[in-house]
Chain A
């Protein structure tokens, strides 16, 4: 139950950050229709917060602020810096690609066949659909920006990647350690009744989505390869392997 509380508390924190991020970039959007579209994205993230709170209440576990990982604040700060610099491309890359990839990884795990709990499965599937749509919107927007100024967008990707991915990476990588430290739990794989949570699978799924999105957004493979290769440095000997070799092999095979 504590593991479920941990995951949902962090998911809710991610949704709150998404509300702030989408809202803060509204004024950077170039026309009225895209401003309205972005407000709608923020509104959907609000709906997700309420759904997650309802899930916690329904199953009977607390949304616990002490379980929220500190890296969320760093990601939010980097996004805020991008807004201050009026760097719309960086904002889109951080929120629509990076954070959404993590969200999709998480909700994919929750809505997978392995999860036998109807309530969490239904809610996760619901949220997953919105997040996939947000990712598509992000890819479409990035495509347009790349057409206008490819070099500037790639610069933004490099900046955002080096700022944000270590935070996201650290968050999923250290999830178990953080939770164990906070709540004294063994949480590698926990089977809570019918709710199956595999944090290792979550890590790999999120990273796979990120790399797939970089590909889908038509970023230059030369740049993408360097970024993915650089992620090897995030892994520390002794820690669990995140499956980066698999991702690197996949990227290399596409080039």
Chain B
């Protein structure tokens, strides 16, 4: 694969900086980091595509800087893969990222700046924060991964703050337009984002040539349901901080119970089993 860095396929042996970790851990990192890189590539494209929609030269420059920081994250994550000797993919594979990107591009094509900001600065950044917070816990990961994730987390928190500031300014100008944009973006994008922390996975494991049945989030001492709850909590907090009306956000949050797996969380039926990634073919006969 032209876009892949580091070794291909399932990994063996122990590595500097993660020497008390087994192959399952590095396969999981390979999957998670490749997905994170895909998210960063999408962010680069999203931020870049909305530069021309920004209203002032200063905000255009600020947005280019955001894109530049996302580029830096791609390089940091790729370097992590090389350093810890696990394979990373440097292109978007999972269809959810492609779908989110398509929705963003639709919004940009319509000149819908509020929808662009909501999709990238609020929804996607919220999810990125949950991911990098999880990876930055050194006790659950390893020193190098934790250091890289902590570094990136600082940028993503800043991007979220920028997004909140921008959305607040737009809400002051035209609340109806911005609330409409939220409703549209929520229904288009949130199912895709949450779809990426469910047990459904399409092709990344196959592309990485790792055995998806070996992937389980207990390698980093968490589970899918915990991640979903954290993502949900972060999302609710973000909407609240951005100043959206509860009359608009409450139905949106309630609608998320229709997502796969979310209903079970809502009624407290956590089952912490399952791999993070399984293609339908690979999943046959295996626990994923």
A positions within 8 Å CB-CB of B: 16, 19-20, 23-24, 26-27, 31-32, 35-36, 38-40, 42-43, 46, 49-50, 80, 84
Contacts and interface: CB of A to CB of B under 8 A. Distances in A.
B60 A32 contact: no
B68 A27 contact: no
A224 to B, nearest CB: 31
Contacts of B74: 32, 36
A40 B75 CA distance: 13
Contact of B52 (A20, A31, A35, A39): A20
B221 interface: no
A127 to B, nearest CB: 16
In order of increasing CB-CB distance, the 4 nearest A-B pairs are: A26-B48, A23-B51, A20-B52, A27-B45
Most A C-beta atoms less than 10 A away, residue of B51, B101, B105? B51
Given A32-B74, A36-B74, A27 B57 contact: no
A31 B74 CA distance: 13
Interface residues of B, number: 26
Most A C-beta atoms less than 10 A away, residue of B61, B65, B90? B61
Contact of B44 (A20, A26, A46, A84): A26
A42 to B, nearest CB: 5
Contacts of A19: 51, 60-61, 64
B91 A31 contact: yes
Contact of A43 (B45, B64, B91): B64
Contacts of B105: 27
B61 A39 contact: no
Given A20-B51, A46-B65, A26 B45 contact: yes
Nearest to B45: A27
A211 to B, nearest CB: 29
Nearest to B40: A32
Given A26-B67, A32-B3, A42 B41 contact: no
A16 B90 CA distance: 30
B51 A43 contact: no
Given A23-B48, A26-B44, A35-B41, A43 B60 contact: no
A225 B138 CA distance: 64
B49 interface: yes
A39 B60 contact: no
Contacts of B109: 84
A42 B49 contact: no
A23 B67 contact: yes
Contacts of B2: 31
Contacts of A40: 68, 71
A24 B61 contact: no
Nearest to A76: B52
Nearest to B42: A27
Most A C-beta atoms less than 10 A away, residue of B67, B90, B91? B67
Contacts of B65: 43, 46
22 contacts: A19-B64, A20-B52, A20-B60, A23-B49, A23-B52, A23-B60, A24-B49, A24-B52, A26-B44, A26-B49, A26-B67, A27-B101, A27-B105, A31-B91, A32-B74, A32-B91, A35-B41, A36-B71, A36-B75, A40-B68, A40-B71, A43-B68
